[in-house]
């Protein structure tokens, strides 16, 4: 339970910078970037107090799997995976937005809809939808990428008007987003899952658009089990999920949504193990392969050595 990676603090050959995100530690070199997926977990833009065994490995390996099987749609940033928790690749210049795409009325979209809003990021929504209902067609609801605090919804028109992304490039990002979502949806369906919503991040390298960051992981995506979906929807039962939403729901049940004055609940060993088990289950469902947890006496030394050898 304690054999986890909360933080890394490497001094790598050729390192020019470092950034600690909510989940990943990012090392910059001149033309390369190294992403170390730690076992930290965040929800409501808050890092939870305990790390989750194997979470970082699950994230890295799912992301690498999907980056590989979508490389025919557009190039991506990854060139090497030297360790189960590490991806190395091109140092792209990121666009300052996330392309969120939704096929169902769930999560943040549902919470907004429930409050009476019928427009999300400039996209009109029909009346009469219930939680987890399929949308008439997938919609893109972009968000700004906040260095700290909450990402914010933003419309296509505002992105272009503010000059965050040139209009012709944004149109290309939309096309890539729809194609990636279709691919992810088809892969999920083959494994008995529904890809509910997800986000993609893009950047440029030598003037060409690349897919960056992670894709189709439980941190960036929401999945339902396909079996029993219609029955649960017709009876108003909660959908069976394989995503990080169950962590958010647990926090909500404990009175925490990241708002001022709210205290983070304690995480028991049972809660930590249940989260770890769900991540592993999603890996096995999505990749159709058995998960083999990487073990070592000193995980940090293993990761440092593998990165150094790759450099």
pLDDT (tens digit per residue) in 40-59: 998 888 899 999 999 999 99
223-238 in b/e form (b: 16+ CB < 10 A) is bbbeeebeebbeeeee
Instruction: Find the mean pLDDT for residues 190-211.
Output: 96
Tell me, which fold does domain 95-235 have in CATH?
Answer: D-amino Acid Aminotransferase; Chain A, domain 1 (3.30.470)
Confidence of residue 203 (pLDDT cuts 50, 70, 90): very high
Where does 17-93+244-310 sit in CATH, by number? Answer: 3.30.200.20
Q: Which helix (H) or strand (E) holds 58?
A: helix 55-69
The percent of residues in the chain predicted with pLDDT above 90, rounded, is 80
Q: What is the pTM of this model?
A: 0.88
> Residue 172 burial by CB count (10 A; 0-12/13-18/19+): exposed, middle or buried?
middle
First to last CA, the chain: 31
Quick check: 92 pLDDT over 90? yes
Tokens of 306: 């593998």
pLDDT at site 149:
54
Work out the mean pLDDT of the chain and round it to a whole number. 93
**What backbone torsions phi and psi does residue 223 show, to the nearest 5 degrees?**
-125, 140
Strands in 206-288 per DSSP E: 208-212, 221-225
**What backbone torsions phi and psi does residue 161 show, to the nearest 5 degrees?**
-65, -35
Instruction: Find the mean pLDDT for residues 17-46.
Output: 93
CATH 3.30.200.20 intervals, the chain: 17-93+244-310
CATH 3.30.470.20 intervals, the chain: 95-235
pLDDT (tens digit per residue) in 123-158: 999 999 999 999 999 999 999 986 555 678 999 999
Q: Which three-class secondary structure state does DSSP give residue 198?
A: strand
């Amino acid at each position: 339970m304690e054999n986890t990676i909360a933080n890394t603090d490497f001094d790598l050959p050729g390192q020019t910078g470092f950034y600690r995100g909510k989940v990943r530690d990012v090392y910059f070199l001149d033309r390369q970037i190294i992403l170390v997926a730690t076992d930290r977990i965040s929800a409501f833009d808050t890092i939870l107090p305990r790390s989750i065994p194997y979470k970082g490995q699950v994230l890295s390996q799912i992301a690498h799997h999907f980056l590989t099987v979508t490389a025919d749609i557009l190039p991506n940033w990854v060139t090497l995976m030297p360790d189960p928790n590490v991806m190395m690749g091109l140092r792209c210049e990121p666009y300052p937005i996330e392309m969120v795409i939704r096929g169902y009325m769930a999560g943040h979209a549902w919470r907004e809809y429930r409050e009476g809003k019928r427009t999300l990021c400039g996209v009109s929504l029909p009346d009469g939808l219930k939680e987890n209902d399929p949308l008439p067609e997938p919609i893109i609801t972009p968000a700004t990428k906040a260095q700290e605090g909450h990402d914010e919804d933003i419309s296509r028109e505002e992105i272009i008007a503010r000059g965050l992304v040139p209009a012709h490039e944004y149109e290309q990002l939309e096309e890539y987003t729809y194609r990636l979502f279709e691919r992810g949806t088809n892969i999920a369906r083959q494994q008995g899952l529904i890809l509910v919503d997800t986000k993609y991040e893009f950047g440029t390298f030598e003037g060409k658009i690349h897919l960056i960051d992670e894709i189709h992981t439980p941190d960036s995506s929401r999945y339902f089990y396909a079996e029993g979906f219609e029955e649960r929807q017709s009876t108003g039962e909660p959908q069976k999920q394989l995503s990080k939403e169950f962590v958010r729901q647990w926090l909500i049940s404990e009175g925490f949504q990241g708002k001022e004055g709210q205290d983070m609940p304690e995480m028991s060993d049972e809660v930590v193990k249940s989260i770890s088990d769900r991540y592993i289950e999603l890996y096995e469902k999505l990749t159709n392969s058995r998960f083999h947890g990487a073990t070592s006496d000193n995980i940090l030394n293993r990761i440092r050595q593998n990165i150094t050898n790759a450099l």
